[in-house]
Chains A and B, each alone.
Chain A
């Protein structure tokens, strides 16, 4: 019994070490969305290209889509734009844009210059839908299933690696279940 007690500090150190080691490498700035498993919040916002057209959550019905939150004020959004173009053109991914806290003129110039990977772009100048989605920093990309339910949220830039290792498996999984 006494012998065992001598090893107690070592045991505690090992347990604490394992617990702390498990935390290394996790990026604490990437939070899981509170909306996973819930439908896209109800909204009614204008189309970026056609101010007279109103868009709402029915936009996400019928097929799996990526919802990409972006703004011209966001440098990382520029970094991922080429990859979004590649996804839309080469992979045929259905991407919906959410132009977040931006202004229409700048956004249209941006899409004109860099190309437009979005099937539709929701114009959200005051960030209301962004807030309901729990967006805390652009760019963010949501995977939304054909029933309009949020399945995954990726915070940060989308590139080939993220697509192949993170988003594509989620989409395949969603398609398999749906």
Chain B
């Protein structure tokens, strides 16, 4: 019995936590509500800078959610809504910045890193193929020197 009560309480807990920021907005259907949730999840709060406006309790985030909702009701497209907020608060409010000359490195860095990594791996592989068994890492002369050094060390320790 106690276990069941605990389970029920545990299940209720996230519901209360989520209720904290939820505003009371009416949506005509689930798709619209989902669109709203997606929009506020990718807009960044200018005040509490590492939160999106969905998570933030700052008054400015509330205002921004209100505007997103109102513009949606007025039939604005996602781009229009985001553009209107960017026009007021700057590029900063986009969690997904546009791909342009300034953000080129930001978007391209993962691809560049993967490509660079592949080049290094390819280089290592090619080199090890080329210096195959017929050309060993040490020449006979070097091998003899190494053996002598190791022998000396064994003796001294």
- Please choose the segment from B9-17, B27-35, B86-94 that sits at the chain A interface, where 4 or more of its residues have CB less than 8 A away: B86-94
Interface residues of B in 25-82 (CB under 8 A from A): 46-47, 49, 58-60, 63, 67
B90 & A132 in contact (Cβ 8 Å cutoff): no
Q: How far is the CA of A134 from the CA of B89 in the complex (A)?
A: 5
- Please choose the segment from A27-35, A48-56, A108-116, A165-173 that sits at the chain B interface, where 4 or more of its residues have CB less than 8 A away: A27-35
Known contacts A29-B49, A31-B46; is-contact A134 B88 (Cβ 8 Å): yes
Task: Report the contact-size class of chain A (Cβ under 8 Å from the partner).
Answer: 10 to 19
A136 & B47 in contact (Cβ 8 Å cutoff): yes
B46 & A134 in contact (Cβ 8 Å cutoff): yes
Q: How far is the CA of A29 from the CA of B58 in the complex (A)?
A: 14
Residues on B with C-beta less than 8 A from A34 are 86-91
Q: Mark A144-175, 1 if CB is under 8 A from B, else 0.
A: 00000000000000000000000000000000
Q: How far is the CA of A34 from the CA of B87 in the complex (A)?
A: 6
Interface residues of A in 105-128 (CB under 8 A from B): 127
Q: How far is the CA of A29 from the CA of B47 in the complex (A)?
A: 7
A137 lies within 8 A of chain B by Cβ: yes
- How far does the Cβ of B88 sit from chain A's closest Cβ, in whole Å? 4
A31 & B90 in contact (Cβ 8 Å cutoff): yes
- A134 touches which of B49, B59, B90 (Cβ 8 Å): B90
Interface residues, chain A, CB within 8 Å of chain B? 28-29, 31-35, 101, 127, 131-137
Interface residues, chain B, CB within 8 Å of chain A? 46-47, 49, 58-60, 63, 67, 86-92
